[in-house]
Chains A and B, each alone.
Chain A
Amino acid sequence: MIAFLVRRIGQALVVMFIISLLSFSIQDNLGDPLRELVGQSVSEAERQKMRDSMGLNDPFITQYWRFLKKAVQGDLGNSYFFKRPALEVILEKLPATLELVIGATLIILILSVPIGVYCAINPRSWFTKVMMGISIVGISIPVFLTAIMLIYVFSIWLGWLPSFGRGETVTVAGWETGFLTTDGLLHLILPSIALSSIMLPLFIRLIRSEMMEVLEQDYIRFAWAKGLHRKRIWFIHALKNTLLPVITVGGVQIGTMIAYTILTETVFQWPGMGFLFLEAVNRVDTPLIIAYLIIVGLIFVITNTVVDLIYGLVNPTVKLARGHT
């Protein structure tokens, strides 16, 4: 268990290092931060002086080394635009994004497991056929299109749900949450659905195909031969084995959802990290961009670690978390 965590933290550090190196090295291609930082009125000589003082003219290695030294102390530099530590700016937006991802994940979990299982058990029913059809379509519709359609139907046409921002939020222990107010929850619905729209059909199909494969196994046939109730066969014997591979594949997919938040947050004006990131790119706010990429990388690594831990807990043939090895 400890060896596993140490190995994981090691992996995380390597990933973080690579992300920082990559994002740091693309910054020259993003545009000139000075143009955004100061107006047209400033002369070229003065600009050069500012570049010198900011260290922008130093060789790449020097700049990167300086950055790394600070980064390990949690200092990712100041945002050019907000004139505040980039990490602080990003972390303020973290709750909004995470709550969006949690909302979408809940939708995915609550819907995909029962639907996937039903479709596996009743491969010939009309519901299954409809679901399989819809899921193919669902996978191929881009998130922003789904988002716009949702807004059009539920906000503009029916007027049931808000489509803009987070609504009312409360701050609990430094975490700004929309989960605790009705208004916040209402605001979460459409963005969460939009964000889940790609992954949900993917999960339904994944669970269905895994479950169908499991249902063919000898141990399921043996369970029938033992005269067990079919509910027990489906929901204990088959589902447990189905969810094992789904946890691994699914965990990675949920991490990937962070990437889709950029689109979703933009369409719904959701004040999260993705929205902020897009603004930072427009403003060539390099420290903020780098801070975003690093935080997202970190979330990715954490998700994968948690997924591996859960997998180890559920799968008795993996010993990492079961103590006696």
Chain B
Amino acid sequence: MALLEVRNLEVRFPLRGGELTALRDLSFSLNQGERLGIVGESGAGKSVAAFAILNLVSRPGYISAGSVLFEGRDLASLAPEQLRSIRGNRIAMIFQDPMMTLNPVLTIGTQMVECLQAHREISDKEAREIAVSKLRSVSIPAPAARMDQYPHELSGGMRQRVVIAIALLTEPSVIIADEPTTALDVTIQAEIMELLLELCENNNVALLLITHDLGVVSQVTQRTIVMYAGRIVEEGATRSIIDNPWHPYTHGLIDALPERTHRGQRLNQIPGMMPSLSAIPEGCAFHPRCEHMTELCQTQIPGYTLRDERRVACHWVEKQGESR
């Protein structure tokens, strides 16, 4: 049994012009200690998916269908107090922008101690000791002194280390990291990513890594999910997806990687843009940008083709499989 199992999750935002479905039919599972990547362009619904798992979709959005099974309980329908005891305790989250994630008027120490005390009966002194040791484990210099500092006294990289330390405080079994290095200076992105990877490996924490960067996913994760316009279009082992992408969109993403581009050549961007979720084309959402587009693609949403422990939502791939 998987540690975390998301089934047919759907998230909607009631907006003035009608309801917007930001996430459709999201299903995947995450095993103990596994590292799973979710990739997709900006606006694909990755963050919505991350928050939906913790049942933290921002208002007016709501989970309109599906379930999130964690240790036998459905987070999508759990009572608030039980949900609270899982958030930040069993499943922790790391946000994109460390400059905005920490509360500006509370000290680092306060923001760490409160998290421990929200989940355990523990004295201030004990909580502080654990907090300092976690700060040390994310290689923050002079960890004890940091406890009394405010976020604005730390650099972006240091703040993200603090956020990672907070995520590790309660020794969760899952960490959801939503683009944890995107907002950071390029020079420290790799450093933070490596730290996260190392900590997850050492503590046997399952990692759900959300990113728009297939390069990062290929270095960190064992399995990859590719999202497009609020839906999973391809899923499989990271290696096999990178080496042999099935979905034309995944193909495009890989071709666009800087290391696949020859020197002096322009980046191989996929032509066109991902549609806004409020104006998803009929049929396959990717069809206007797809070189293999047929009439079928314009009218019918492709179902999932399952093969070799992979799945893909593409009429073209499905047909190839039949003819083979």
Binding site for B on A (CB under 8 A): 216-219, 221-230, 232, 236-237, 240-241, 244, 314-317
B106 CB, nearest partner CB in chain A, Å: 7
Chain B, Cβ-Cβ closest to A214: B103
Contact of A240 among B58, B86, B106, B114 (CB under 8 A): B106
Q: Are B101 and A218 in contact (CB under 8 A)?
A: yes
Stretch from B87-95, B239-247, B282-290 at the A interface? B87-95
Contact of B101 among A222, A236, A240 (CB under 8 A): A222
Q: Tell me, yes or no, whether B8 is within 8 Å of chain A by CB.
A: no
- Known pairs A225-B88, A227-B86, A227-B87; list 14 more (Cβ under 8 Å): A219-B102, A221-B56, A222-B95, A222-B103, A224-B87, A225-B87, A226-B87, A226-B88, A227-B84, A227-B89, A228-B115, A229-B84, A244-B105, A317-B104
CB-CB under 8 A for A314 and B105, given A225-B56, A225-B88, A226-B115: yes
Q: How far is the CA of A244 from the CA of B103 in the complex (A)?
A: 13
> Residues of B within 8 Å of A, CB-based: how many?
31
Contact of B150 among A221, A224, A317 (CB under 8 A): A317
A184 CB, nearest partner CB in chain B, Å: 39
| Inter-chain contacts of B92 with A (CB < 8 A) | 225-226
Q: How far is the CA of A205 from the CA of B136 in the complex (A)?
A: 44
Contact of A219 among B87, B103, B150, B152 (CB under 8 A): B103
Chain A, Cβ-Cβ closest to B110: A236
Contact of A218 among B86, B100, B106, B107 (CB under 8 A): B100
| Inter-chain contacts of A314 with B (CB < 8 A) | 105
Q: Tell me, yes or no, whether B85 is within 8 Å of chain A by CB.
A: yes
Q: How far is the CA of A241 from the CA of B106 in the complex (A)?
A: 10
Q: Are B84 and A240 in contact (CB under 8 A)?
A: no
Q: How far is the CA of A227 from the CA of B84 in the complex (A)?
A: 5
Q: Are B103 and A237 in contact (CB under 8 A)?
A: yes
Q: Are A232 and B105 in contact (CB under 8 A)?
A: no
| Inter-chain contacts of A229 with B (CB < 8 A) | 84, 118
Q: Are B101 and A227 in contact (CB under 8 A)?
A: no
Nearest 10 CB-CB pairings of A with B: A227-B88, A226-B88, A227-B87, A218-B100, A316-B150, A225-B93, A219-B103, A226-B115, A240-B105, A222-B101
Q: Are B152 and A317 in contact (CB under 8 A)?
A: yes
| Inter-chain contacts of B119 with A (CB < 8 A) | 227
| Inter-chain contacts of B54 with A (CB < 8 A) | 225
Q: Are A218 and B88 in contact (CB under 8 A)?
A: no
8 contacts between A and B (CB under 8 A): A216-B58, A219-B104, A222-B93, A224-B56, A225-B56, A225-B87, A226-B87, A241-B103
| Inter-chain contacts of A217 with B (CB < 8 A) | 100
B151 CB, nearest partner CB in chain A, Å: 9
| Chain B 229-243 residues near chain A, CB threshold 8 A | none
Chain B, Cβ-Cβ closest to A317: B152
Q: How far is the CA of A224 from the CA of B115 in the complex (A)?
A: 10
Q: Tell me, yes or no, whether B97 is within 8 Å of chain A by CB.
A: yes
Chain B, Cβ-Cβ closest to A232: B114
Q: How far is the CA of A236 from the CA of B111 in the complex (A)?
A: 11
Choose among B106, B107, B152 the residue with the greatest number of A CB atoms under 10 Å from its CB: B106
